[in-house]
Amino acid sequence: MNLMAQLPVLPVVIPFVAGALALLLPKGRAPWAWATFVSWLSFLASALLLREVAATGPVSYHLGDWPPPWGIEYRIDLANAIVLALVSGIAAAVAPFAYESVRAEIDERQSPYFYAAFLICVSGLLGVTATGDAFNIFVFLEISSLSTYALVAMGGRQDRRALTAAFTYLVMGTLGATFFVIGVGLLYHATGTLNLADLHLKLAGQHNRVVEAGFAFILVGIGLKLAMFPMHLWLPNAYAYAPSAVSAFLAATATKVAVYVLVRFFYSVFGLDFAFLGDALTYVLLPLGVAGMFVASLIAVFQHDVKRMLAYSSVGQIGYMLLGLSFGTREGLAAALIHLVNHGLMKGALFLAVACVVYRLGDHRCAAFSGLARRMPVTTWAFVLSGLSLIGVPGTVGFVSKWYLLEASFAAGHAWAAFMIVASSLIAVLYVGRVVELMLLREPPEQGPLSEPVKEAPLSMLIPMWALVAANLYFGLRTEFTAGFAEQAAAALMTVSGGR
Amino acid sequence: MIDLAFIAERYNYWIFIVLMMIGVYIVISRGNLVKKIVGLNIFQTSVFIYYISIGKVAGGTAPILPAAYESGHEGKGARASAAHGESAPAPGAASGESLHAAPQSAPEALPANDLASAVAQTPQGAGPSGEAGLHAAPGEAANPLLAPPDGAGDAASALGEAAHKAAEIVYSNPLPHVLILTAIVVGVATTAVGLALAVRIREAYGTIEEDELEAADDIAEFGAAFGEKAEGARA
Amino acid sequence: MISPELALPLSLAFPLVGFVAIWLLDKRPNWREAATLATAVVLLALAIVVFQAVGAGARPAYVLFEVVSGLPIAFEAEPLGAMFGLVASGLWLVNSLYSIGYMRGHGEKHQTRFYMCFAIAIAAAMGVAYAANLFTLFIFYEVLTLSTYPLVTHKGDAKARHGGRVYLGVLMATSIGLLLPAIAWTYAIAGSTDFAPGGLLSAHAEAARPVLGLLLALYAFGVGKAALMPVHPWLPNAMVAPTPVSAFLHAVAVVKAGVFSILKIVVYVFGVDFLHETGASAPFVWIAGGSILLASAIAMHKDNLKARLAYSTVSQLSYVTLGAMLAVSAGVMGGALQIAAHALGKMTLFMCAGAIMVAAHKEKVSELRGLGRTMPITFVCFFIGAVSIVGVPPLAGSWPKFFLMLGAADAGQIAMIGVLMLSSLLNVVYLLSIPAVAFLKPAKGADAPLEKEWYAGPLYDGRNALPRDPVKEAPPFCLIPIILTATGAIVLFFFSGALYDYLLPLTETGR
Amino acid sequence: MGEFSPALIVLLGGLLAPLVRGGLLRNVFMLALPALAGAQLFAFGLGEYGNYELFGHTLTLTRIDGLSRMFATVFLIAIALNVVYAWHVRDRLQQSAALIYPGSALGAVLAGDLVTLFVFWELAAITSVFLIWASRNRRAFYAGMRYLVWQIASGVLLLAGVVFYYRATGSLEFGHFLDSGLSLTHPALLCIFLAFGIKSAFPLLHNWVQDSYPESTVTGTIVLSIFTTKMAVASLARGFAGVEALVYIGAAMTAFPIFFAVIENDLRRVLTYSLNNQVGFMVVGVGVGTPLALNGAASYAFCNILFEGLLFMAMGAVLYRTGTIKGSELGGLYKTMPWTTFFCLIGAASISAFPLFSGFVTKGLIISGAAKEHYFWVWLTLLFAAAGVFHHSGIKIPYFAFFAHDSGKRPKEAPLHMLIAMGVSAALCVGIGVAQLFTGPAGDPLYALMPFEVKIEDAHSPYIAYTAPHILVQLQILFFSGLAFAVLQKTGLYPPELKSTNLDSDWFYRVPGRALLSWTAGATRALWRLSWRLFTGRVERAMERIYAVHGPEGRLARTWPVGSMALWTAVVLGAALALAFIA
């Protein structure tokens, strides 16, 4: 069997199988090593896939050799190839990082379970991205979600709030997934197919309540999963109290994948011929995106806890993606995709930096960051640089995102939206600046548990973190892999959906 | 005016809707975590019922692969159709290349689909179209979704009688059941995880009442329960 | 000899090399300072190479790479940029010398960090100077903001933090909130952000016209570094910085990068003729004029020396903005000359303020009485700088005023001539009084009757001089740069004609 | 020395002077400068020298024609006399400024174009203030600041005028402005006119003279009194000759300072009023604009520099020896300062235009010029003013300083170098006054220097000074004026010499003007602060409100209730459904 021919499915299958195997490994270093190896392998596969897709166009893989629309199809075009690369790439960065971090935060006896859950989560997210089948999306969504609940709950050893956060996440996630599955059911009801491409063809010209209801359910279901503004309440706690490495991985990937699913359904399945899609863009995504940008960012400004702050910031950043989507133009879509990738990079790096602080100081409240520049300079600068990226300072990926969003706003004739974007960026200046000032200009705490002298985080944590920071900078200057691909992907999606 | 018969015919959908509402309502209103999970289960169950409902198709048949496909795909094609099944008879009148292709090009080759086209002509089929997708009668589940096939008029009228007969045939599509089995697995897993979490929460907090949990968290964080100390915290 | 094309990227790269060298030499202050100076010398040489090449009519260009399609990081030296590059690098050398004297004399901490940030800041300033498009300009503009933030907050106490917060807040808010959308909008209209002779937007007049005023407003206030009122508060607040930083901020890098950007945007993005024809810039002429007078009025009431100088800077910067917004070639020329002239003058003033701080530990104008006798060189230089700012021959500051008045006459903004005249008089009052106080008033604590009548009066002829305090000047590292820039202010007066010829292509493209 | 400007010789020499070590050596060096410059000036001869290119125009550093040569000559003489007079001074600041400032004025007089004029104009302003500050006291400090504001105002007005002029005509040439076709009300000419007007101390623009000159040092006041106003007169003569407005302005200038001079106590200040009045004569001459009147104005300026300087020198010597210059504190000094008294009287006689003194020869030209152009009332005013001059400068100054009631002061005679300077001045005054008696009108050496060719058509030509009517008229004026003084003095009606501050129009800028400025500045700042505080207050309140909602305890940051999340989800679902159905 030609391995290359199986490429589209490898990123999903490898971690899935490996996750099960991880359960069998002894406690300690082995599960970690295995997970790291597997995540790298899966990243390699994703990268190869991306290269291939970029070179030759969309790749279709028929699971069990059943041709679509009967069988489950894995269909990789540029849009999901990018997301695959992002998810597996973040996993590849987080996995080596996790060893020290997890050892410090989680009972060692749990380590096989942890890495198993981690790998399955990766697999689930990759599966959601890779598959071309609507119900399959639901299944993988739930696979990843279930493992995520478990991962979040493992933070309970550090902070009992992780348990309640996981529970909340579970209820909301299930609610969202169920809505999604209702939506899929309605579409199936209307068309008799589950294949996304096929759905698109069959839906064409269908203007009736079933399709409309299906659309609404899918919108809300995925909206929950991606923490669209008023449905974001599960996210801050889940990210704040999960083990640090998990926070980093989830923040960089989980919501992004959900955004991708939304994009896929909007543009590949429904298409702009549907009036309700346009309306949903204008009357749901646009206001909710803007509201999220501001409300969540403002909440972030006042948070005492850096992880929670970053989590709220994520909600705000999702607002940008929704805003980009809501224009319903190629530029807007491209901007959303670019920000999707870029935000993954910057949030990943930021959460990893926080993880380093937690590793040394055992705390992620603001107080722990006071005077950090003296105590952990390498970590501090990683945080500062990725924070700048979050703000959108030129030379970082954040700027590229902002630029495309601004361009999209102007191109769509929404000049006001451009000012919304920059205004919200300024709120980001506030919350990032607050922490940066603490780190750079304050003295370390003089008493209490945080005052004890600490060393810089170990290399095994610094290297992955700086790899992500470097990615932030590199892709901030060379954008052919992010913006270039995203633009092509957006163009392809728009062609399918009938937009301009 | 309320058409009681219309409502009664769709009792299974009403069950689905009522259950769904009850489930969501419980999730919203109950503070007890276990009760929430119960609500969630009810909610999920409602979805199962819905899937099962749409699995029952009037006028459908087991998918038999057209010759054109068969020649291309040999046995595989047949298996595939068995796997995915035939849900609603051929709404894809407009999409010629699909399996559900409308027969306007070769009506005699696909009798099953002809039936479907004919059904589209019936007055009942046209009536509720466009206003009550969810309320569609089981017998006409697919009908409202059908646009009258353009070129198939003659063939359809020729086969009108047969179509009426065929509409009364109730066919059970296995695919939704398969889907729902998967969903049940997921649901059970979720419930298990949820209950396990509830147990751990009780261990950690000594309660599974939401209000008390929140108060405990707020007291730990701010020294007071929510809303009691909005003033002091600012200073 | 390095080719000018190569000199462009090198003048960005070299400070970064210096940055690393400074870092590595953290523990050996003398070598560290040597590294700074060596970098400065090389940078100046590079700037001269570029300057000469541009003077010979070449337009050396260098494209680094394309970040986003249509948005390359690219450099191209044209007269204005070459002049700014030369001014910035030349004054950086001077400022480096001065920093050594000041930082050691004042016993500041974290000196390595200080020099490192300085190196990045100058690299950014060079990037701004040579930027070939708005996008590149914006990148380096932001880098400049960020790299000077640690400089502003150098002391690290609560006051410095507050100042730094305002500094960063205003500059980031304006640049991200206004400048960035403006650039994006320009790109959306013109499909490019390249600086084009004659104006990028004037080539897309139809699309640009409806939003021209708005765009110009976004640029004018978005370039917060130009400190056009009311986006100036960052500037007085940045006064918490050590004085070399203030000198650098207010004379060379930051503020000049701001007004330079404004000028460049007006000339190469809008196009002087296009603005003139549409009249979109007329309101900004008034805003700039108001800014000139308002800032002067505030400066008059400031007793803190550096704060007074800061407000004077706000006022003087608006000269450049005014020149740009007049949208005539003489105005542009006046603005361009003002960049160089004010840089020398204000740099002198700030370095004098620093020298006073180092030698006498005085910060307030009212405390300076009698100090002129103990620090004669410093105050003579201060006087020269102040006179240059006022705009009196034979000091460099007089020509910009001439051209600005010409520009105002050309643009039909007669009122602005009045504003410029009034501003000169206000400058006399609040700037020239400083050295006068220092020279004429006796130090506090002198005999009471003398306190009342000060010195001898009309009978003073040098023979009946009072016993004076011994001369106690700042260290030579502080003093020499001051003398250099003060001399520069005089020399530039005589070379303004040459500079005018050099800058002439700038206005020819507009006309 | 090529085409090196004489002005630059003095100017650069002045810059170098402080570097010369040793008092005597420096004095010699300083004295050499005007000599050198004079040599250069006369080596040049008439013509344009030192052309240079600036901003695409050819500019002329040195233009020597009749007008500029006359002024340049007397400037150089005055510089030399000042150096001698200030031989005792060891203050580098004064010494340097006493060369640079006259050098700048010289440069302005010689300037061939408007840009050069502007440069030297401003340079004279900025350097002269050091002479005021040189006395280093509180009054001098503030007077100097006010002076500087006036001078810079003149400079920027000139600059604005030049700009307008350049825009209107495309030329930077400094010639007769009205030849360019612009009217006087054109902003260009108006600005330049005002700039010249400030420096030549037009009425209401004059008080910077009285305000600042008396605050300078003994020697500084003399230097100041000479150059700024004469530079302005020279510029007026070049640019605005024949502008009728000048006639009336000048007439007003000659008349009104007399009243102030009469009541003023500070004798040096009395002289500054006299200075105004004297410049008024010249302005009238310029305004009349005929060759006769212009010759009169230029030559009167020439002589005035000498005798006005002489008077200032005498007062300086008094101040130097007694430490005061208040009329009320002086008197009876002739006993111990006979030479000073003598020279002062010569100066007084000259300024009063006694026959045989220089004023007599030159003032007549102006008055006749006005009469010839039929300015009857002006002519009458000039006569009155001439009487007034005699009154305050001719009688009051020597009378109160040297005679009057004996103050009991017995100071030493002025130092030798001062006497020499005064003596030379006095000799020149007398020499010019009597030259015509020996050489005849046609051969008068002063006439050779005049800007316009002297044409003596008939026996009534005003150029012939010593005619019976002229002498008679002049003596009558002087006689009645002296009589009036004597009568007033004897009857006690003459205003007593009181220590008082006389209110002049400078009150308007010294008191309310200053208050207005500081009020405006204060109000602006207060306004800015208020708006800033309002703004920050708004921001703060907004932040508080935002905090109340978004802060950690705020409603929006509340994350716990699962139920509310589900409710929100339901709401969004409802909205989405409704939307999809409506669409």
- Per residue in A235-293, pLDDT (tens digit) is 888 898 999 999 999 999 999 999 999 999 988 888 888 878 888 888 888 999 999 99
User: Is the Cβ pair D552, A302 closer than 8 Å?
Assistant: yes
DSSP letter for D451, please. Answer: S
Closest chain A C-alpha to B78 CA, distance in angstroms: 10
On the 0-12 / 13-18 / 19+ scale of CB atoms within 10 A, D489 is middle
Q: Is the pLDDT of residue B12 over 60?
A: yes
User: Does residue B109 fall inside a structural domain?
Assistant: yes
Residues of B (121-180) whose Cβ lies below 8 Å from A: 129-134, 136, 141, 144-145, 147, 176, 179
Closest chain B C-alpha to A167 CA, distance in angstroms: 6
Q: How many CB atoms lie within 10 A of CB C157?
A: 12
Q: Which two tokens stand for residue A32?
A: 């970690």
- Which residues of chain A neighbour C192 with C-beta distances below 8 Å? none
| pLDDT band with cut points at 50, 70 and 90 for residue A29 | confident
Q: Which two tokens stand for residue C393?
A: 């021959």
pLDDT, mean over chain C: 85
Q: Which residue has the tokens 């150096």?
A: D83
Helix, strand or coil for residue A381? helix
Q: Looking at this protein, which amino acid is placed at residue A475?
A: F
Tens of pLDDT, residues A67-91: 777 778 888 888 889 999 999 999 9
C-alpha C502/C-alpha C494 separation (Å) is 14
Does D555 share its domain with D439? no
Establish if D583 touches chain A: CB-CB under 8 angstroms.
Answer: yes
C-alpha A253/C-alpha A233 separation (Å) is 18
DSSP letter for D55, please. Answer: T
User: Does residue B198 fall inside a structural domain?
Assistant: no
DSSP string, A264-325: IIIIIII-TTSHHHHHHIIIIIHHHHHHHHHHHHHHHHH-SBHHHHHHHHHHHHHHHHHHHH
Nearest residue of chain B to residue D568 (CA atoms): B28
| pLDDT band with cut points at 50, 70 and 90 for residue B230 | very low
Nearest CA to A216 out of B143, D570, B184 is that of D570
Contacts of A60 (CB under 8 A, 6+ apart): A8, A68, A73, A74, A75, A76, A132
CB D397 within 8 A of CB D270: yes
CB C292 within 8 A of CB C423: yes
Q: Is the dihedral of CA C308, C309, C313, C315 positive or negative?
A: positive
Does D296 share its domain with D398? yes
- Closest to B145 (Cβ–Cβ): which among A167, A178, A190? A190
User: Is the Cβ pair C150, A440 closer than 8 Å?
Assistant: yes
Q: Which domain holds residue D548?
A: 510-582
Q: Looking at this protein, which amino acid is placed at residue B95?
A: S
Does D407 share its domain with D393? yes
Q: What is the CA radius of gyration of chain D?
A: 31
- Closest to A208 (Cβ–Cβ): which among B76, B144, B176? B144
- For chain D, 583 residues long, give each residue's pLDDT as a single digit of tens: 467 888 888 889 988 888 888 778 888 888 888 899 988 888 888 888 888 888 878 888 888 888 898 899 999 999 999 999 988 888 888 889 999 999 999 999 999 889 999 999 999 998 999 888 888 777 788 888 888 888 999 999 999 999 889 888 888 888 888 888 888 888 889 999 999 999 988 888 888 888 888 888 888 899 999 899 999 999 999 999 888 889 889 888 888 888 888 788 888 888 888 888 889 989 999 998 888 888 889 988 999 999 999 999 999 998 888 888 888 888 888 888 889 999 999 998 888 888 888 888 888 888 888 888 888 888 888 888 888 888 778 888 888 888 877 877 788 888 898 999 999 999 999 988 888 888 877 778 888 888 888 777 777 777 887 888 888 888 888 888 888 888 877 777 666 665 556 666 666 666 777 778 778 878 887 887 888 888 888 888 888 888 887 777 777 777 666 777 778 888 888 888 888 787 6
Residues of A (151-170) whose Cβ lies below 8 Å from B: 153, 156, 160-161, 163-164, 166-167, 170
Q: Is the pLDDT of residue B157 over 70?
A: no
User: Is the Cβ pair C455, D521 closer than 8 Å?
Assistant: no
User: Is the Cβ pair D551, B233 closer than 8 Å?
Assistant: yes
Q: Is the dihedral of CA A406, A412, A415, A418 positive or negative?
A: negative
CB A193 within 8 A of CB A69: yes
CB A283 within 8 A of CB D578: no
| pLDDT band with cut points at 50, 70 and 90 for residue B82 | very low
Residues of D (365-424) whose Cβ lies below 8 Å from A: none
User: Does residue C53 fall inside a structural domain?
Assistant: yes
**Over residues B150-169, mean pLDDT:** 54
User: Is the Cβ pair A163, B77 closer than 8 Å?
Assistant: no
Q: Is the pLDDT of residue B65 over 70?
A: no
Helix, strand or coil for residue D246? helix
CB D551 within 8 A of CB A302: yes
Closest chain C C-alpha to A106 CA, distance in angstroms: 38
User: Is the Cβ pair C153, A422 closer than 8 Å?
Assistant: no
Nearest residue of chain D to residue A301 (CA atoms): D551
Establish if A150 touches chain B: CB-CB under 8 angstroms.
Answer: yes
Most confident of A398-407, C433-442, D257-266, D445-454: A398-407
Establish if B25 touches chain A: CB-CB under 8 angstroms.
Answer: no
In Å, the largest CA–CA distance within chain A is 69
Closest chain B C-alpha to D576 CA, distance in angstroms: 16
Distances (CA, A) of D276 to D127, D200, D202: 21, 8, 8
D and C interact (at least 3 Cβ pairs within 8 A): yes
Q: Looking at this protein, which amino acid is placed at residue A305?
A: D
Peptide bond into C442 cis (omega under 30): no
Distances (CA, A) of B58 to B54, B87, D514: 10, 9, 100
**Over residues B209-228, mean pLDDT:** 76
Helix, strand or coil for residue A413? coil
C-alpha B138/C-alpha C147 separation (Å) is 70
Phi then psi dihedrals of residue A77, to 5 deg: -110, -170
Q: Which two tokens stand for residue A420?
A: 């919304």
CB A52 within 8 A of CB B65: no
pLDDT, mean over chain B: 64
Q: Please give the interface size between A and C, counted as residue pairs whose CB atoms are below 8 Å apart.
A: 90
DSSP letter for A488, please. Answer: H
B and D interact (at least 3 Cβ pairs within 8 A): yes
- Which residues of chain A neighbour B197 with C-beta distances below 8 Å? 149, 153, 163, 166-167, 170
Nearest CA to A268 out of A199, A209, A320 is that of A199
Does D499 share its domain with D550? no
DSSP letter for C432, please. Answer: I
Q: Is the pLDDT of residue C64 over 60?
A: yes
Phi then psi dihedrals of residue C75, to 5 deg: -125, 145
User: Is the Cβ pair A163, B91 closer than 8 Å?
Assistant: no
Domain count, chain D: 2
Q: Please give the interface size between A and D, counted as residue pairs whose CB atoms are below 8 Å apart.
A: 98
On the CB side of A450, how many CA atoms lie within 13 Å of its CA?
A: 17
CB A202 within 8 A of CB B95: yes
- Which residues of chain D neighbour B36 with C-beta distances below 8 Å? 562
Establish if A110 touches chain D: CB-CB under 8 angstroms.
Answer: no
Q: Which domain holds residue C409?
A: 4-456+468-510
Nearest CA to C408 out of C341, C337, C324, C342 is that of C324
Nearest CA to C194 out of C283, C134, C143 is that of C134
Does D539 share its domain with D490? no
Contacts of B43 (CB under 8 A, 6+ apart): A175, A178, B19, B20, B22, B23, B24, B26, B27
Establish if A291 touches chain D: CB-CB under 8 angstroms.
Answer: no
- Closest to D566 (Cβ–Cβ): which among B27, B222, B230? B27
Residue A70's pLDDT is 75
Nearest residue of chain B to residue D565 (CA atoms): B28
H or E element in which residue D425 lies: helix D416-439
Q: Which two tokens stand for residue D241?
A: 């000759």
Residue A444's pLDDT is 82
Encode burial over D383-402: b for 16+ CB neighbours within 10 A, e otherwise. Answer: bbbbbbbbbbbbbbbbebbb
C-alpha C316/C-alpha C308 separation (Å) is 12
Residue A262's pLDDT is 92
User: Is the Cβ pair A201, B83 closer than 8 Å?
Assistant: no
- Which residues of chain A neighbour B94 with C-beta distances below 8 Å? 204-205
Establish if D101 touches chain C: CB-CB under 8 angstroms.
Answer: no
Give the residue, C47 or A66, on which the prediction is more confident: C47
User: Is the Cβ pair A283, D577 closer than 8 Å?
Assistant: no
Establish if B98 touches chain A: CB-CB under 8 angstroms.
Answer: yes
Does D564 share its domain with D433? no
Q: Please give the interface size between A and B, counted as residue pairs whose CB atoms are below 8 Å apart.
A: 155
H or E element in which residue C67 lies: strand C61-68
CB C55 within 8 A of CB C83: no
CB D215 within 8 A of CB C459: no
Contacts of D481 (CB under 8 A, 6+ apart): D387, D388, D390, D391, D394, D395
Q: Looking at this protein, which amino acid is placed at residue A387?
A: G
The ipTM is 0.80
Q: Which residue has the tokens 């008034």?
A: C286
Domain count, chain B: 1
User: Is the Cβ pair A415, C185 closer than 8 Å?
Assistant: yes
Residue B139's pLDDT is 40
CB A234 within 8 A of CB A460: no
Helix, strand or coil for residue C61? strand
Q: Is the dihedral of CA C296, C298, C303, C309 positive or negative?
A: negative
Closest chain A C-alpha to C163 CA, distance in angstroms: 12
CB B51 within 8 A of CB B183: yes
DSSP string, D279-339: HHHHHHHHHH-SHHHHHHHHHHHHHHHHHHHHHHHHHHHHHHHHS--BGGG---GGGT-HH
Contacts of D194 (CB under 8 A, 6+ apart): D154, D157, D161, D205
- Closest to D563 (Cβ–Cβ): which among B29, B218, B233? B29
Q: Which domain holds residue B75?
A: 60-168
Closest chain C C-alpha to D136 CA, distance in angstroms: 5
| pLDDT band with cut points at 50, 70 and 90 for residue A497 | confident
Establish if A67 touches chain B: CB-CB under 8 angstroms.
Answer: yes
